[in-house]
Amino acid sequence: MKIDIFNTHEELSQKAKEIIVHEIVKKRNLLLCAATGGSPKYTYDLLGQEFQNRPELFAQLRIIKLDEWGGIPMNYKGTCESYLQDHIIQPLQISESRYFGFNSNPVDPPKECELIQDKLNQQDSIDLCILGLGMNGHLAFNEPAEFLQPHCHIAKLSTMSLSHPMTSEMNLKPTYGMTLGMADILRSKMILILINGGKKRAIVGKFLSKQITS
């Protein structure tokens, strides 16, 4: 694990953008797993700026959604879908055939998880997975629990996750989450965890303690 520490969110985001672009140059049809939230937002904005100068670089890029709030419409403000459409899918002109992810309001949530797992299994592995670190240590919606799920699954959301800033924009609140599992995430050829803000200091300390817990 390589740790880089930056003075500002902008410096962190610039470095992350450079890493992502470097990997896309090496593999034009790279499969990028995209997280949502405040930490990666400016990185995505910088990728959008890069697209304006080098649109051909992103012509084969593939994207999978990391996780999603459950029980709310796809176009609802605050869904991971709305976030990704606004910050990466539309700015990089990712076609429908090069993007897949959970439906936020499926008729059959377990079946939706099976569908996304099947689509993921049809790919090579994830080339580059972008993660944030939750205030309680969760990665995607893999919440602290007695044990962790390996593959796509329905997640019981913690109180802390339900108080995430993204849900503050919602009048209709999510009742569950859907997420890639830890085995799928750890199979990624590269994982980039972006952590920003002084409020994360305590959980970062636990993360760097090298103790393996859920």
Please give the positions annotated as active site. Answer: 67, 136, 138, 143
Q: How far, rounded to the nearest angstrom, does the alpha carbon of residue 145 sit from its chain's CA centroid? A: 20
| Cβ atoms of residues 206 and 137 within 8 Å | yes
Q: d(Cα 104, Cα 141) in Å, to the nearest integer?
A: 14
Q: Which two tokens stand for residue 92?
A: 């990089």
DSSP string, 93-147: T--GGGEE---SS-SSHHHHHHHHHHHHHTSS--SEEEE---TTS-BTTB-S-SS
